[in-house]
């Protein structure tokens, strides 16, 4: 009776360990085949590394020849480990190789707080994820004897160690036992068949979906991620790099990359899903890819806010040898005048400026003192460029009136020639702000999410007198104005630089349009100030 209990327990243990081995083998085999039959590369995964050996991983990703070899070895390793674990063939060596591969995956992108893998995987983990668990099981497999598994290894072992036939007396019971043990050791064969059948079904479904269910215009190019198959401009279509100007000795491209791609905030009017859509599109990798594309077309500066997420992404960008200069959008409060400015400088900004909405509010409250204090604090960092931003032209007017000396102004500018702008443009060129009506909506410049420049004529007229460089923003009305029209209007009106938020597939086209506008016949009366 005791012997039967032991045998029953041993069968249960063997069954459990065999199934676990087969499941892990299935996972490895599928991972390898999926990578083999798709345009896959480990470059993004390796470039996302920021822990141990990150420099080595980055070097591999940046070397196309070496990357191709590593990818091939990775695929071969996954398939070989998967087949061996499924069959129970060379289980110990396969477990060693599999555990080593998983260790590399874990080191490259560990699930630590604040790391890319912690926020972009199929779930959120804290140190322990499925890779670590799978690696622990494979390490266990390294030390288990063959008798713990039903496997090809166990079958070969029994064949090698069997007693010669002429030394034993065959019995029906013994023959039956041998057959049962043989069937147990070949238990993986149905799983192999099942894997092949399911893989074929999946392939057939994908082929049917591709040809029958997905419309041609909406198909996605697997190589370039979320960029569709439509014929967008590529670097091969670039006519020339974006021209540059200067602000206080810093060479700045006439087209500056806006920061909504990092912040995930988008002016959506009454479309409540747009910001979420932008956040979903602009993963860390997409942001970094977009920055690199900006570099390639000659855009050498970005304007992004100061917050923890931005600083995290910028740190990754610098680790990948990103070269774009950062002009930081900073906010202040009555209680805290320093934090954003200090954080921007500590993290490598070459310029700092006070947020437009905050400047607007201070002027509407007739509180220029706070703007003065902010500018005075900015100038403690005298090696940087300092600026004031505004939607409301009165910010620039009051700053000039009281002798404030920023290195540049950021002021919204577009023609308002789009239907969602509404009727609130102030068209009278002789308009001047009325202090008695300073809080009235018709004189506000940022009263809702439809319009950001209610005084374009007055802005152009007044900025003609301002001798400081002018960075124009909102020039495309959050996508409501074509780049051809928006850029031409801004530069004709006297802007020295434009700041525009762009998707990756718009960058080359915008660079070409900027070049055409600046190389064409501009009708501007304001001298270039930057």
What 8-state DSSP symbol labels residue 212? Answer: I
Residues 447-493 pLDDT 10s: 455 677 888 899 999 999 999 999 999 999 888 899 999 999 999 99
- Determine the pLDDT at residue 233: 66
Average pLDDT for the chain: 82
| Among the ranges given (122-131, 345-354, 520-529), the one the predictor scored with the smallest mean pLDDT | 122-131
Model confidence at 323: pLDDT above 70: yes
Angle at which helices 64-87 and 188-208 cross, to 10°: 130
List CB contacts of 95: < 8 A, sequence separation 6 or more. 85, 138, 139, 141, 142
pLDDT mean over 506-512: 92
CB 353 within 8 A of CB 319: no
- Determine the pLDDT at residue 450: 67
- Determine the pLDDT at residue 467: 95
pLDDT mean over 395-418: 93
What 8-state DSSP symbol labels residue 273? Answer: T
Question: Across 183-305, where does the E strand assignment appear?
Answer: 244-247, 250-253, 255-257, 301-305
CB 109 within 8 A of CB 116: yes
Which of 428, 492, 494 is CA-nearest to residue 457?
428
Between 423 and 443, name the one with better pLDDT. Answer: 423
Model confidence at 69: pLDDT above 70: yes
- Which strand (E) or helix (H) includes residue 388? strand 385-390
CB 41 within 8 A of CB 67: yes
Ordered DSSP codes for 424-490: -----TT----GGGTT-GGG-S-SSSS-S-S-HHHHHHHHTT--S-EEEESTTTTTTS-HHHHHHHH
How far apart are the C-alpha atoms of 84 and 101, rounded to whole Å? 15
Between 110 and 117, name the one with better pLDDT. Answer: 110
How far apart are the C-alpha atoms of 112 and 48, rounded to whole Å? 13
Residues 354-383 pLDDT 10s: 999 999 999 999 999 999 999 999 999 999
How far apart are the C-alpha atoms of 90 and 153, rounded to whole Å? 6
pLDDT mean over 252-263: 88
| Among the ranges given (90-94, 213-217, 453-457), the one the predictor scored with the smallest mean pLDDT | 213-217
How far apart are the C-alpha atoms of 4 and 272, rounded to whole Å? 67
- Determine the pLDDT at residue 123: 55
- Determine the pLDDT at residue 175: 58
**Signed CA dihedral, 511, 512, 516, 517: sign only:** negative
Which of 43, 50, 44, 503 is CA-nearest to residue 316?
50
How far apart are the C-alpha atoms of 512 and 142, rounded to whole Å? 59
- Determine the pLDDT at residue 206: 54
pTM: 0.59
- Determine the pLDDT at residue 435: 52
Model confidence at 388: pLDDT above 90: yes
CA torsion angle for 374, 375, 379, 385 (degrees, to 10)? 120
Q: Which fold has domain 250-519?
A: TIM Barrel (3.20.20)
Between 146 and 87, name the one with better pLDDT. Answer: 87
CB 321 within 8 A of CB 292: no
Model confidence at 113: pLDDT above 70: no
Question: Across 182-331, where does the E strand assignment appear?
Answer: 244-247, 250-253, 255-257, 301-305, 325-330
Which of 417, 256, 235, 391 is CA-nearest to residue 326?
256
- Which strand (E) or helix (H) includes residue 107? helix 91-108
- Determine the pLDDT at residue 447: 45
How far apart are the C-alpha atoms of 265 and 267, rounded to whole Å? 7
pLDDT mean over 44-65: 81
pLDDT mean over 109-113: 80
The structure tokens listed for 184 are 């147990």
Secondary structure of residue 346 in the 3-state scheme = helix
Q: In 365-429, which ranges are continuous DSSP H helix?
A: 368-378, 393-401
Model confidence at 515: pLDDT above 90: yes
Model confidence at 398: pLDDT above 60: yes
CA 5 vs. chain centroid, Å, equals: 57
Identify the band that residue 1 occupies on the pLDDT scale cut at 50, 70 and 90.
low
- Determine the pLDDT at residue 225: 32
CB atoms within 10 A of CB 143: 9
CB atoms within 10 A of CB 123: 8
CB-side neighbour CA atoms (13 Å) of 50:
18
Secondary structure of residue 90 in the 3-state scheme = coil
> Per-domain residue ranges for the chain?
2-206, 250-519
Model confidence at 41: pLDDT above 80: no
Model confidence at 96: pLDDT above 50: yes
The structure tokens listed for 29 are 């085999």
How far apart are the C-alpha atoms of 489 and 507, rounded to whole Å? 19
CB 348 within 8 A of CB 325: no
CB 474 within 8 A of CB 444: no
Model confidence at 226: pLDDT above 70: no
How far apart are the C-alpha atoms of 275 and 479, rounded to whole Å? 14
Total residues found in the chain within this entry: 530
pLDDT mean over 184-193: 78
Model confidence at 412: pLDDT above 80: yes
- Determine the pLDDT at residue 35: 87
CB atoms within 10 A of CB 62: 14
- Determine the pLDDT at residue 205: 55
CB 430 within 8 A of CB 361: no
Among residues of the chain, what percentage have pLDDT more than 90?
45
Residues 266-302 pLDDT 10s: 777 777 787 788 777 888 888 888 888 898 899 999 9
Among residues of the chain, what percentage have pLDDT more than 70?
82
Q: What is the 3-state secondary structure (H, E, C) of 29-66?
A: HHHHHHHHCCCCCCHHHHHCCCCCCHHHHHHHHHCHHH
CB 413 within 8 A of CB 380: no
Look up tokens 């960092």; give the residue.
381
């Amino acid at each position: 009776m005791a012997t039967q209990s032991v045998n029953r327990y041993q069968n249960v243990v063997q069954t459990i360990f065999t199934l676990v081995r087969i499941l892990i083998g299935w996972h490895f085999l599928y991972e390898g085949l999926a990578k083999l039959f798709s345009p896959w590369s480990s470059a993004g995964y390796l470039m996302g590394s920021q822990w141990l050996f990150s420099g080595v991983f980055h070097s591999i990703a940046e070397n196309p020849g070496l990357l191709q070899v590593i990818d091939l070895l990775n695929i071969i390793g996954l398939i070989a480990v998967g087949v061996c674990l499924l069959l129970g063939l060379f289980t110990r060596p396969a477990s060693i190789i599999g555990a080593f591969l998983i260790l590399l995956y874990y080191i490259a992108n560990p699930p630590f707080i604040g790391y890319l893998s912690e926020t972009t995987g199929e779930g959120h983990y804290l140190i322990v994820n499925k890779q670590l668990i799978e690696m622990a099981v494979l390490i266990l497999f390294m030390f288990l004897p063959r008798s713990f598994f039903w496997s090809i290894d166990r079958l070969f072992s029994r064949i090698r160690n069997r007693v010669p036939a002429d030394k034993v007396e065959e019995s029906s019971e013994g023959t039956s036992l041998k057959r049962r043990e043989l069937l147990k050791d070949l238990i993986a064969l149905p799983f192999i068949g099942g894997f092949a059948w399911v893989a074929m079904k999946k392939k057939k479904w994908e082929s049917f979906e591709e040809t029958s269910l997905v419309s041609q215009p909406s198909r996605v190019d697997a190589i370039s991620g979320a960029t569709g198959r439509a014929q967008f401009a590529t670097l091969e279509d670039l006519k020339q790099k974006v021209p540059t100007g200067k602000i206080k000795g810093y060479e700045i491209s006439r087209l500056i990359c806006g920061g909504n791609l990092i912040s995930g905030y988008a002016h959506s009017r009454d479309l409540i899903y747009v910001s979420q859509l932008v956040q979903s599109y602009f993963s860390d990798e997409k942001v970094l890819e977009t920055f690199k594309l900006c570099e390639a077309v000659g855009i050498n500066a970005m304007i992004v806010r100061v917050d923890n997420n931005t600083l995290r992404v910028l740190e990754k960008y610098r680790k990948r040898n990103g070269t774009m200069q950062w002009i930081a959008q900073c906010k202040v409060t009555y209680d805290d005048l320093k934090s954003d400015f200090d954080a921007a400088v500590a993290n490598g900004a070459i310029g700092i400026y006070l947020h437009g909405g905050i400047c607007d509010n201070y002027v509407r409250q007739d509180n220029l003192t706070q703007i003065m204090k902010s500018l005075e604090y900015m100038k403690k960092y005298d090696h940087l460029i300092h600026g004031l931003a505004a939607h409301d032209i009165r910010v620039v007017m009051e700053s000039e009136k009281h002798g404030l000396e920023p290195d540049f102004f950021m002021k919204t500018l577009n023609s308002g020639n789009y239907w969602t702008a509404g009727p609130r443009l102030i068209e009278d060129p002789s308009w001047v702000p009325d202090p008695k009506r300073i809080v009235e909506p018709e004189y506000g410049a940022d009263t809702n999410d439809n319009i950001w420049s209610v005084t374009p004529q007055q802005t152009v007229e007044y900025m003609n007198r301002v001798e400081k460089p002018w960075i124009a923003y909102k020039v495309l009305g959050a996508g409501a104005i074509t780049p051809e029209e928006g850029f031409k209007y801004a530069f004709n009106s006297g802007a020295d630089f434009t700041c525009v938020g762009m998707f990756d597939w718009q960058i080359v086209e915008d660079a070409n349009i900027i070049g055409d506008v600046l190389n064409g016949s501009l009708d501007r009366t304001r001298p270039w100030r930057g």
